Structure 1
Amino acid sequence: MRTVSRYISVVFAGVFALSAYAQNGKIKSVENDYEDFAYVKTSEVLLEVANKGYRSVELFQKLANSYYFLNDMENAVKWYGELMSMNEVIDPEYYFRYALALKGVENYEESDKWMKKFNELKPDDRRGRAFLSKVDYKSNIEELSYLDVEPENLDINTEYSDFGTTEYENGIVFASARGGGRKYRWNEEPYLDLYSAEKTENGFGEATELQGKVNTKYHESSAVFSPNGRYMFFTRNNFFRLKYKEDETGVNRLQLYRATLSEDGSWDEIHKVHFNSEDYSVAHPTLNLTGSRLYFASDMPGTFGQSDIFVVDVNDDGTLGQPENLGPSINTEGQESFPFIDTSGNLFFSSTGFPGLGGFDVYKSEELDQKVASGSNRNFPIENIGMPVNSSADDFGYYENLVTKRVYFSSNREGGKGSDDIYTFVIPECEQLVSGTVIDKNTDALIVNATVILFDGEGNLIRRSNADANGAFKFDLDCEKEYIVRGEMETYASDEVRFTTPKKKQDLQVQLLLDKDVQEIGPCDDLAKVLDIPIIYFDFDKSNIRYDAEIELQKVLAVLNKYPTMTIDIRSHTDCRGLADYNERLSERRAQSTRQYLIDNGIDAGRLTAKGYGESQLVNDCGCEPTNESSCSDEEHQLNRRSEFIITSIKGESCDDKE
Structure 2
Amino acid sequence: MKKTFRYLIITSIAFFSVAIYAQKGKIQSVQDDYRDFAYVKTSEVLLEVANKGYRSVDLLQKLANSFYFQNKMEEAAKWYGELMALNEVIDPEYYFRYAMALKGSKNYDASNEWMKKFNDLKPDDLRGRAFMSKVDYKSDIEAVSRDDIQPNNLEFNTEYSDFGTSPTVDGNGIVFASSRGGGRKYRWNEQPYLDLFTVKKSVEGNYGEVSEIGGDVNTKYHESSVAYSPDGMYMYFTRNNYYNLRYKEDDTGINRLQLYRATRSEDGDWENIQSIHFNGEDYSVAHPTITLDGKKLYFASDMPGTYGMSDIFVVDINEDGTLGEPENLGTSINTEGQETFPFVNTSGDLYYSSGGFPGLGGLDVFVSRELDQNYRNSSPNNFNFTIQNVGKPVNSAADDFGYYENVVTKEVYFSSNREGGKGSDDIYSFIEPECTQLVTGTVKDKDSFELIPGAVVVLYNETGEELERKTVGQEATFEFDLECDKEYLIRGEKETYISDEKRFTTPSKKQDLEIELLLDKDEQQVNPCDDLAKILDIPIIYFDFDKSNIRYDAEIELQKVIAVLNQYPTMTIDIRSHTDCRGTDIYNEKLSDRRAQSTRNYLIKNDITDDRLTAKGYGEYRLVNDCGCEQTDTSSCSEEEHQENRRSEFIITSFKGEKCPEN
Q: TM-score, normalised by structure 1?
A: 0.57
Structure-2 separation of matches of 1:531 and 1:192: 77
Deviations 1:170-212 (A, max 9, x none): 1111101111222223322211000001111242111100011
Q: 1:447-462 counterparts in 2 under 5 A?
A: 451=455, 453-456=457-460, 462=468
Q: How does 1:211-230 map to 2 (within 5 A)?
A: 211-230=214-233
2:393 is matched with which residue: 379, 388, 391? 388
Matches within 5 A, 1:24-423: 136-168=136-168, 169=170, 170-200=172-202, 201-376=204-379, 377-423=382-428
| Cα offset, 1:412, TM superposition | 0.9
Using CA pairs under 8 Å that are at least 6 residues apart, name the structure with larger relative contact order, 1 or 2.
2
Q: CA deviation at 1:487?
A: 9.1
Per the alignment, in what secondary structure is the counterpart of residue 157 of structure 1?
coil
Q: Distance in 2 between matches of 1:434 and 1:358?
A: 34
Deviation at 1:342, TM superposition (A): 1.1
Shift of 1:436: 4.4
Tell me the alpha carbon deviations over residues 439-460 of structure 1, each in whole angstroms, 9 at most, x when there is no partner. Answer: 899999x969674624437696
Q: 2:526 corresponds to which residue?
A: 522
Tell me which residue corresponds to 2:646.
Answer: none
Alignment of 1:550-565 (within 5 A): none
Cα distance in 1 for partners of 2:658, 2:246 equals 97
Show structure 1 runs of 5+ residues with no match: 16-128, 533-565, 571-615, 618-649
User: 3-state DSSP class of the match of 1:175?
Assistant: strand
Give SS of 2:480's match: strand
Relative to structure 1, is the Cα distance of residues 10 and 136 closer, same or farther in structure 2, using a 3 angstrom cutoff? farther
Residue aligned with 2:8, SS:
helix
2:545 is matched with none
- AA paired with 1:157? N
- Higher alpha-carbon deviation: 260-269 or 317-326: 317-326
CA distance, structure 1, for counterparts of residue 489 and residue 566 of structure 2? 29
Secondary structure of residue in 2 paired with 1:270: strand
Q: CA deviation at 1:514?
A: 7.2
In the alignment, does 2:506 pair up with 1:502?
yes
Query: Structure 2: how far apart are the matches of 1:428 and 1:507?
Result: 16
The 1-side partners of 2:6 and 2:511 are apart by 40
Q: Which amino acid aligns with 1:300?
A: M
Do structure 1's residue 483 and structure 2's residue 489 form an aligned pair? Answer: yes
Alignment of 1:593-632 (within 5 A): none
Q: What residue ranges of structure 2 are gaps of 5+ in the alignment?
A: 16-128, 540-563, 569-604, 607-651
Deviation at 1:374, TM superposition (A): 2.9
In structure 1, C-alpha distance between the alignment counterparts of 2:291 and 2:369, rounded to whole Å: 13
Q: Aligned with 1:297: secondary structure?
A: strand
Q: Give 1:247's aligned amino acid.
A: D
- Distance in 1, matches of 2:399 and 2:473, equals 50
Partners of 1:452 and 1:486 within 8 A in 2: yes
User: Secondary structure of the equivalent of 1:8?
Assistant: coil
Looking at structure 2, the residues matched to 220 and 448 of structure 1 have their Cα atoms a distance apart, in angstroms, of 66
Cα displacement string for residues 79-120 of structure 1 (whole angstroms, at most 9, x for unaligned residues) = xxxxxxxxxxxxxxxxxxxxxxxxxxxxxxxxxxxxxxxxxx
Q: What percentage of residue pairs aligned between the two structures are identical?
A: 55
Q: 1:11 to 1:423 in 2, by over 3 A?
A: farther
1:289 and 1:516 map into 2 onto residues whose CA distance is 47
1:503 is displaced (CA, Å) by: 6.0
- The 1:528–1:319 alpha-carbon spacing in structure 2 relative to 1, beyond 3 Å, is farther
Distance 1:510 1:429, change over 3 A: same
Larger radius of gyration: 2
Equivalent residues of 2:133, 2:385 under 8 A apart: no
Which has the larger displacement, 353-362 or 453-462? 453-462
Q: CA deviation at 1:354?
A: 0.9
Change in Cα spacing, 1:568 to 1:348, as seen in structure 2 (3 Å) is farther
* Cα 1:217–1:511 shift into 2, 3 Å: closer
Corresponding residue number in structure 2 for 1:3: 3
Q: Which amino acid aligns with 2:416?
A: S
CA contact (8 A) 2:500 2:519 kept: no
CA gap of 1:531–1:408, structure 2 versus 1, over 3 A, is farther
Q: Which amino acid aligns with 1:366?
A: R
How far is 1:2 from its partner?
5.4
The 2-side partners of 1:153 and 1:568 are apart by 77
Take 2:307 and 2:216, find their aligned partners in 1: how far apart are those partners? 34
**Deviations 1:112-145 (Å, cap 9, x if unpaired)?**
xxxxxxxxxxxxxxxxx99x98573111111122
The TM-score normalised by the length of structure 2 is 0.57
Check the 8 A contact 1:309/1:326 in 2, yes or no: yes
Cα distance in 2 for partners of 1:526, 1:440 equals 19
Q: Which amino acid aligns with 2:469?
A: R
Letter in 2 for 1:414: E
State how far apart, in whole Å, the 2-side matches of 1:371 and 1:511 are. Answer: 31
Aligned mates of 1:177, 1:478 — CA distance in 2:
41
Partner Cα distance (1:330, 1:568) in 2: 59
Quote the offset at 1:373 in angstroms: 2.3
Distance 2:12 2:306 in 1: 11
Q: Deviations over 1:9-55 (max 9, x none)?
A: 7979459xxxxxxxxxxxxxxxxxxxxxxxxxxxxxxxxxxxxxxxx
Task: Choose the corresponding residue for 1:431, options 432, 436, 439.
Answer: 436
Residues 214 and 270, structure 1, Cα contact 8 Å, conserved in 2: yes
| C-alpha distance in structure 1 between counterparts of 2:334 and 2:283, whole Å | 17
* Aligned-partner SS, 1:206: strand
- Rate the CA distance shift 1:9–1:191 in 2: closer, same or farther, 3 A: closer
Tell me the matched-pair count: 429
Q: State the match for 2:35 in structure 1.
A: none
Tell me, in whole angstroms, the C-alpha distance in 1 between the residues paired with 2:392 and 2:184: 36
